[in-house]
Amino acid sequence: MRDVAVISTGITKFGELWDTPLRDLFAEATLACIKDAGIEKKQIQSAYIGCMTSGLFVGQEHLASILCDYAGLNPIAATRVESACASGGAAFRAAYLEVASGASDFVLAGGVEKMNDGADATYCLATAADQEYEVYHGVTFPGLYAMIAHAHMHKYGTTPEQMAAVAVKNHKNGAKNPHGQFPMEITVETVLKAVRVAEPLGLFDCSPVTDGAAVALLCPVEVAKELGKPIVKIIGSGHATDCIALHDRADLAAIPVVGKAARRAYDQAGVGPKDIDFCEVHDCFTIAEILCTEELGFFERGHGGPAVADGRTALDGEKPINTSGGLKSKGHPVGATGIAQIHELYAQLSGNAGPRQLKSPRLGMAQNMGGSGGSSTVHILEVVS
């Protein structure tokens, strides 16, 4: 396997983009990415594009072809990758493996979702759960994480205030991110008093419904050196699956697929949780961030809630989590999220994260998750000086 680098990323504004169709979202992020890379479009050999459910959201399948056509990339090899909300992370891994294998030199990893076009988003998102044995019985996606939250509260004493601290912290970071959907600060009181969605989760415990796209360009490290780009190398790539029905998992206060994917990434990279300088985690709901920081090994089980409430995961904390604002503030166009996380890693590691820039981070991690924990990817990136 060859060493692989990310040499550029592109991202659209995230939000309710009523004037922008699905195809233009991807084209906009792709053109920004290619311009930043300083290569020609024709040098790109293939693309993997994460998208959860364009068929339900806008009635469009055969997605990779139409997106690449409108981005001016035909006739490259292009494949859509689906793993619910982990589609972007899975697309990134596919692109990484294609470059690492030696099959191609320049490969795009993209992600896109157009969620605001009239479809019932609650219904569309619930298709990531077991249709016949969860959704049939009235479960929603917030409902699944609400049941995880109740289990975690019961087992470890996690509180609504600790969950609210996740939203407050992510909005504080997100207020410094010009691409985000809701770049404003909020208070714990706002979160606790918000309209209920699925008890114990209110509206401000949930990531929003978002349109957006993000793209990353990968090539061998040796080629990246010739281009004179900052070398941000992929040193670990983990991917794991689990049963998608929450009731089939032994511990309802855990999301073991995250730990399994992380173990593979840590092993490949030869590093551990203490070595990671910052991490983008999949905070689709506030409780998800708490569990993910435990599964990734940053905190003991049951300590994720106190850790965020005590500021340990803040921008100036010992382990900054979701410096971008996370899914909560930046927005969560489901298929794009995994690549948007890579965009944040690349920005931080190359020193271009603006007002939210961390002090000389060396190792960044991105953890992307599908459904209530039926799939997860974990990537570790290192800046090589």
| Nearer to another protein (CB atom), residue 68 or residue 139 | 139
User: Is there a contact between 172 and 315 (Cβ–Cβ < 8 Å)?
Assistant: yes
Tokens standing for residue 198 = 């699925």
| Nearer to another protein (CB atom), residue 338 or residue 374 | 374
Q: Which residues contact 47 (CB under 8 A, 6 or more apart)?
A: 64, 68, 73, 76, 77, 78, 79, 95, 107, 108, 109, 110
Nearest approach in angstroms of CB 205 to another protein is 12
Match 């999949």 to its residue by tokens: 282
* Residue 42 CB neighbour total at 10 angstroms: 10
Tokens standing for residue 134 = 């969860």
**Catalytic-role residue among 85, 206, 279, 292:** 85
Nearest approach in angstroms of CB 143 to another protein is 5
- The C-alpha atoms of residue 214 and residue 25 are separated, in whole angstroms, by 9
Nearest approach in angstroms of CB 201 to another protein is 8
Nearest approach in angstroms of CB 244 to another protein is 12
What letter would DSSP give residue 138?
T
| Nearer to another protein (CB atom), residue 106 or residue 285 | 285
* Residue 220 CB neighbour total at 10 angstroms: 19
Exposure string for 317-329, b = 16+ CB within 10 A, e = fewer: eebbbbbbbbbbb
Nearest approach in angstroms of CB 286 to another protein is 14
Which DSSP string corresponds to 106-117? -EEEEEEEE--S
| Nearer to another protein (CB atom), residue 188 or residue 245 | 245
**Catalytic-role residue among 171, 332, 343, 379:** 332
Using CA atoms, how far residue 117 sits from 59, 210, 326, 373, 383, in Å, is 10, 10, 23, 27, 39
- Residue 206: active-site member: no
Three-state SS sequence of 19-84:
CCCHHHHHHHHHHHHHHHHCCCHHHCCEEEEECCCHHHHHCCCCHHHHHHHHCCCCCCEEEEECEC
Nearest approach in angstroms of CB 287 to another protein is 11
- Residue 124: active-site member: no
Residues that bind another protein (CB under 8 A): 120, 122-123, 126, 132-140, 142-143, 146-148, 150-151, 154, 195-201, 243, 245-248, 252
Residue type at 254? A
| Nearer to another protein (CB atom), residue 195 or residue 228 | 195
Helix (H), strand (E) at residue 180: none
| Nearer to another protein (CB atom), residue 41 or residue 154 | 154
Residues forming the active site:
85, 332
